[in-house]
Homo-oligomer: A and B are copies of this chain.
Amino acid sequence: MTPYSELGKEELLKLKEELTLQYEDAKGKGLKLDMSRGKPAPAQLDMTMPMMDIFTSHADMKDEQGVDTRNYGCLEGIYGARRLLGEMLGVDPEHVIVFGTASLNVMYDSISRSYTHGVMGSTPWCKLDKVKFLCPAPGYDRHFGITEHFGIEMITIPMTAEGPDMDLVEEYVKDPAVKGIWCVPMYTNPLGITYSENVCKRMADLNPAAEDFRIYWDNAYCVHHLYDEEEKQDHLPEMLSMCKVNGKENMILEFASTSKISFAGAGISCIAASKDNLDWVKKSMTVQIISHDKINQLRHVRFFKDLNGIKEHMKKHAAIMRPKFELVLDVLEKELGGLGIGTWTKPLGGYFISFDTMEGCAKAVYQKCKDAGVTLTTVGATYPYKKDPHDTNIRIAPSFPSMEELKQCAELFALCVKLASVEKLLENK
């Protein structure tokens, strides 16, 4: 393949003509497909349906400790659920509180609580002139949405192949207005990479000026490998104990859920943190709610039993996700390999492939896909304030469409990348 940048104006014009024809043809197909969000496919949800058999009208609804899950009480969640999610994160049940369905809500509440009441006795953020957050980007749009909602200034931290640029992070945390950093450390959204041991070590040994600085460790994809073979899986150190070794166990709040393990929006979620942090969380929580849905917690405990149960279940997810990732990667390689008009990640897990176009082409690709009936994640959404400084990043979410649909999506996407790139190159000829 000849890289597009080596083509002359005439060649580019000819190419544009060919691609435009192909594109008009694709448009005519009347596609209506969605690759925008990390939604599990129906086939994945089907796999969890046996969970619906766990309880019948004659079921014993008491947990191992004798708690009647149908009644009020047990603010921290049933012990079995704390153990199950603790195992998944590699921490003791005593360091876990289990909530309702959404870890996003738990994160929102953590920020909101800090804003209204401060962190473990420090000044509430609403009383401060300025609060800043470090936002490794490209990152998870909903994280940035929370901090933006609370008027928190977001500082973009570039991502390297190993995780956030730690030189910058170490520098920025010297500012006492910097109160936190958003992290999706494993199979990160959208890059699909996992923070290296070195990045984790440096993260666990930060010296923030602010006593209420916290690492918001959203371990959303901690068991979401695409491959069963250990050597094809990323590995992430357990951070709570890493921070503890440095005497900094209060510096981290870890979040997780089973949204992409059991049911999206009907799983169980948790926070894992030091005793001091959990006490702080509980101080508001006890005002906020009597107890979360313990029936659903017990349903999950009886269904998965333990970490091994989760791992076995995740292999089934992988069997559905793996071919989808491979299909997209194959199409990208086949259609775009060697053209020099895009780079992309090849994740071993998670829900996303991250694609970078040539500078200034992402929006155009998005629009072209949209006009032809394929919705991508809104371009820019992976950056704070929805502003991608170079207009290059596109998050590809291959989970929801069927294989047949996905092939159409990927091919259309590649076509749009080519067309947008040619148009961009012609601008300068």
Q: What residues make up the interface of A, taking CB atoms closer than 8 Å to B?
A: 37, 39-40, 42, 45, 48-53, 55-59, 61, 68-73, 100-102, 104-105, 108, 112, 115-117, 124, 126-127, 142, 145-146, 149-150, 259, 263-266, 284, 287-296
Contact = CB atoms under 8 A, between A and B. Distances in A.
A165 to B, nearest CB: 27
Contact of A108 (B53, B55, B105, B289): B289
Contacts of A71: 39-40, 42, 45, 263-265
A293 B257 CA distance: 13
A56 to B, nearest CB: 6
A105 B292 CA distance: 10
Contacts of A101: 100, 292-293
A289 to B, nearest CB: 5
A419 to B, nearest CB: 31
B39 A72 contact: yes
A100 B269 CA distance: 13
A116 B104 CA distance: 18
29 contacts: A37-B72, A39-B73, A40-B71, A42-B68, A49-B57, A50-B57, A51-B57, A52-B56, A72-B264, A72-B265, A73-B265, A100-B100, A100-B101, A100-B292, A101-B292, A104-B289, A104-B290, A105-B289, A108-B287, A108-B288, A112-B116, A116-B150, A117-B149, A124-B126, A126-B127, A145-B287, A263-B295, A265-B290, A296-B296
Q: So how many copies of this chain end up in the complex?
A: 2
Nearest to A292: B101
Contacts of A290: 102, 104, 142, 264-265
Given A49-B57, A57-B52, A287-B146, A69 B266 contact: yes
A39 B68 CA distance: 12
B104 A288 contact: yes
Looking at A40, A68, A127, A263, which has the most chain B CB atoms within 10 Å of its CB? A263
A32 B212 CA distance: 43
A223 B45 CA distance: 36
Contact of A284 (B49, B149, B264, B292): B149
Contact of A45 (B70, B102, B112): B70
A146 B59 CA distance: 36
A70 B51 CA distance: 12
B288 A265 contact: no
Looking at A57, A142, A265, A293, which has the most chain B CB atoms within 10 Å of its CB? A265
A71 B56 CA distance: 23
Contacts of A70: 45, 48, 263-266
Contacts of A105: 288-289
Contacts of A126: 115-116, 124, 126-127
A289 B102 contact: yes
Nearest to A38: B72
Contacts of A145: 287
B49 A52 contact: no
A53 B124 CA distance: 47
Contacts of A49: 57-59, 61
A126 B112 CA distance: 12
